[in-house]
Each structure stands twice: as C-alpha cells, then as structure tokens.
Amino acid sequence: MKSFRINPDNGMVVGIFTLGEHVSDPLTGKIISEQQRISEIIATAKMADQAGLDVFGLGESHQAKFISSANQVILGAIAQATKNIKITSSATVLSTADPVRVYEEYATLDLISSGRAEIVAGRASRVGAFELLGFNLRDYEELFEEKMELLIQLNEEEKINWSGQFRAPLNQAEIFPQPLNDKKLPIWRAVGGGPASAIKAARQGVPMMLSTLGGPAYAFSHAVKAYRQTLAVSGFDPLDFPIGTTSLMYITENSQDALREFYPYANHIMEELRGTGYAKSQFAESIDTKSAMLLGSPQQLIEKILYQHELYGHQRVLGQVDIGGMPLSKIEKTIDLLANIVAPAVKKATKMEVNKK
C-alpha cells in the first residue's frame, strides 16, 4: 500500500457520517418517506461542505430500517452537490460485494468529485446482505479477508493477476476508469474496536477506521497500540498510516440539554435494531470527558476529542449526527457547532502539538 500520510500541519481532520437509518422520530412517531430521507442525507452533506467540515461518510446496509443499500449512488449525488468535502463510505460491505465492481464505482466517484473519494471497507456489523446477495454467513471472515486483499491489489497494480476461493480468477485484468489522484484511492479498513481486526489492518498496510461508539475511551487504546506495533513489525512506518475514529455525536450549548435531547433518539435506534435500549443511568455517563461518545457542549466535545487524541494519537474523527429519526433541524445545529466552535479549536490544538515536536 502506498504512503497515506495526513498532513499534520493542518491539524486533525474532522467530519461527520451517517449509516442511512430510516426510522420514525420517537418524539412524534412519524416517519418521513424514503425519498425525503435520501434528500435529507444529501442536504446534510451539503451543509457539512458549506460549513467547512473535512469529510462526509455514508454507510451501506441491506435490510429494513436503512435507506443506504446503494450508498455509492447517493454519494454520487453528494459529489455533484458539494465542492470541497471528502466523500467516503462508512463502510462499504466488502464481504458481499465484488471488489472489482467496488473499485470501478469509487474510481468513477473520484472522477465525478475531482479527487475527493475514499473507501472504508468493512465486514458488516449488520448481516442482512449475506442471504440477500447470495453469500454464506459461515464464510464471514474468509470472504472479507480475501476480498480486502484483492481490493488492495486493484489499487496498487495496473494489470491484475489473481485467484481466490470466492470469485473467478483475474488474468492480466485492467480496471477502468482509474482514480484521479496518482491512480490511487485512499482505502481504509473499518475496525470494530478489538485488537484482532486492528492487527489484520496493520498487516495489510492500510489505515484504520476505529469504531468507538460508547463506553470509556481508554478501552480502545489496546486496538490502537496493537495496530501501530504490528505496522512496525510488518515493515511499515506507522507514520504513513493514519487512524480515524467514529462515534455517535450530538452537540448543544450545554451538556444537560445535549443529554436530554439526544437520549430519546439514541435509545430509539437501539430498541429498533437490537430490541433493547439504553439504561438512562448508564447513558448519563456519556457526557463524561473520558467517555468515547461525542456528546455534550462544544467545550466538552473539544475536551473529549483532545483527550482521545492523547490516548490514540489519531488524525481523523467522524461523528454520526443523524441517529434514530432525528429531524434535520437538530442535525444542522450539531453541524454548526461542530464546524464553527469544536473543529477550529481541535485543529488549532493538534497543530500546536505538531509544532512543539
């Protein structure tokens, strides 16, 4: 994999993402149409771009209560509606896709967006796609690892010779079109929090996007440490491979309002997807500075992100801002506070840290 350093002189990369959930608003009981939900995802990306955020991500899911089964199509619309923001999957379910087709799609997206496309490849935390698309869930690990290796090879070589267990061989295959920037796409590996997947990302020599949805932030330090140690012993320079984190995010002027307003939406999506919600006493701990969830006032968010930066030394942070049927007005407020208060402070602090070194 080629060097993929993020310029430290610019400070931390800050953005948002959505998983494309399509559920009712727990406060009103109403659910918007599929068409409106997709329109609002595009509008959210446009807001983020106009506000000056760095990245917008859209996940992929193939089951009820989600709208993003064809996330790359929506990202194409976002590419046309935006000018500067990086556009990424969060994540591409590579296990149930053809890596050749994925590469063609994101190379095309890269050309449409003038070089702003990235891929975050994941194994699938929701497994609805396996039966739907004709794959055996028992091959969960093997499917992803084989396809990830092929995706990396597609990004590194002009003519591909490859054979594996789950697709037909490739013989001197060429992929068209090619991405804009040096004919390479930034490809990240989505990691669910444990060291095992982080170690595999390091052995492959790809940047890691670490999911840190909740609980104490320090719990994810083990995966970060394992990732960097494995990069080094695998012959890679850890400085060449950035780490990103993803978490739930909600920002209001004060922490108590943030907790009160966000809880119904976070609890609702947990009940919808898992059948059980958050205990209020447990959820109240999420506003603590050492909690991984990015919930609170702007100053709390600054302190949380910088605390996590001390733990992980990561270069990118993305927040999911539209959870559980949340209306666009609340999403817009979080984007505004993130872009105008939180991100500038975080970037300034992380740039100063680099200059001290």
- Give the residue from 350, 333, 327 showing the smallest Cα distance to 37: 327
Which pairing describes strands 160-162 and 170-173: parallel, antiparallel, or unpaired? Answer: antiparallel
Structure-block tokens of residue 350 = 């992380």
Bond prior to 177 in cis (omega within 30° of 0): yes
Distance CA 317, CA 331 (A): 17
- 91 and 59 Cβ atoms separated by less than 8 Å: yes
Phi and psi, residue 254, nearest 5°: -140, 160
DSSP lists the bridge partners of residue 87 as 56, 117
Q: Pairing state of beta strands 55-58 and 187-191? A: unpaired
Amino acid 125: pLDDT: 66
C-alpha 1: how far from its chain's center?
Answer: 20
DSSP letter for 66, please: B
The Cβ of residue 91 has, within 10 Å, a number of other Cβ atoms equal to: 28
pLDDT digits (tens, 9 = 90+) for 226-266: 999 999 999 999 999 999 999 999 999 999 999 999 999 99
Tell me which DSSP letter residue 26 carries.
T
Length, in residues, of the chain: 357
pLDDT at 7: 79
CB atoms within 10 A of CB 36: 14
Token pair 């406060």: residue: 27
At residue 286, the pLDDT reads: 94
The pair of structure tokens assigned to 19 is: 């998983």
**What DSSP letter does each residue of 106-172 carry, written as one string?**
HHHHHHHTTS-EEEEEE--SS-HHHHHTT--GGGHHHHHHHHHHHHHHHHH-SSEEE--SSS--EEE
For residue 280, give the amino acid letter.
K
Contacts of 142 (CB under 8 A, 6+ apart): 165, 166
CB 121 within 8 A of CB 151: yes
Residue 83 to residue 80: CA distance in whole angstroms: 8
Instruction: Express each pLDDT in 161-185 by its tens digit.
Output: 999 999 999 999 999 999 997 779 9
Q: What is the pLDDT of residue 166?
A: 93
Dihedral sign, Cα of residue 134, residue 137, residue 138, residue 142: positive
50 CB contacts (<8 Å, ≥6 apart)? none
Q: Name the 3-class secondary structure at 23.
A: coil
What per-residue confidence (pLDDT) applies to 1? 47
CA-CA distance, 67 to 194, in Å (whole number)?
28
pLDDT for res 122:
93
- Between vectors from CA 189 to CA 188 and to CA 195, what angle results, nearest 5°? 135
What the chain holds in terms of domains, given with CATH numbers, is 8-356 (3.20.20.30)
Grouped pLDDT means (10 residues each) for the chain, 357 residues: 67 97 97 98 98 97 93 98 97 94 97 97 79 86 95 95 95 96 90 90 96 94 97 95 97 96 96 90 93 97 98 97 96 98 97 65
